[in-house]
A = this chain, B = another copy of it.
Amino acid sequence: MDLFEAVAEPNRRRILDLLRERERPAGELVEALSISQPGVSKHLRLLRETGLVGVRVEGARRLYRLEPAALADLEAWLAPYRRFWGERLAALERHLETEQ
């Protein structure tokens, strides 16, 4: 599973969003996600494998944290498009100004 597919799944995006705030134990993510505990565990494994999250064992709990560097490839792919729609927006703005 590559980065793009990892991020395509809504529950996984939700997990990442939650971890953006702070490190969380798996159980907390289970509560947040309305799918089964093994389901969440599976998503967490995938996220680990793609490098998007890291884990830290603390007693019986596993604390998951965001590993945002793994999003670099997505960012890199998107970057050239950003410029693109920036141009569009700029054009629209110019148009609106002219209209006034």
Interfacial residues, chain A to chain B (CB-CB below 8 A): 4-5, 7-8, 13, 16, 20, 66, 68-69, 71-72, 74-75, 77-78, 80-82, 84-85, 88
Looking at A8, A80, A84, which has the most chain B CB atoms within 10 Å of its CB? A8
Check if B69 sits within 8 Å of A88, measured CB to CB: yes
By secondary structure, the A interface counts as helix
Chain B residues contacting A68 (CB-CB under 8 Å) are: 81, 84-85, 88
A-B contact pairs, 26 of them (CB 8 A): A4-B7, A4-B8, A4-B13, A5-B8, A7-B8, A8-B8, A13-B77, A16-B81, A20-B80, A20-B81, A20-B84, A66-B84, A68-B81, A68-B84, A68-B85, A68-B88, A69-B85, A69-B88, A71-B78, A71-B81, A71-B85, A72-B85, A74-B78, A75-B78, A75-B82, A78-B78
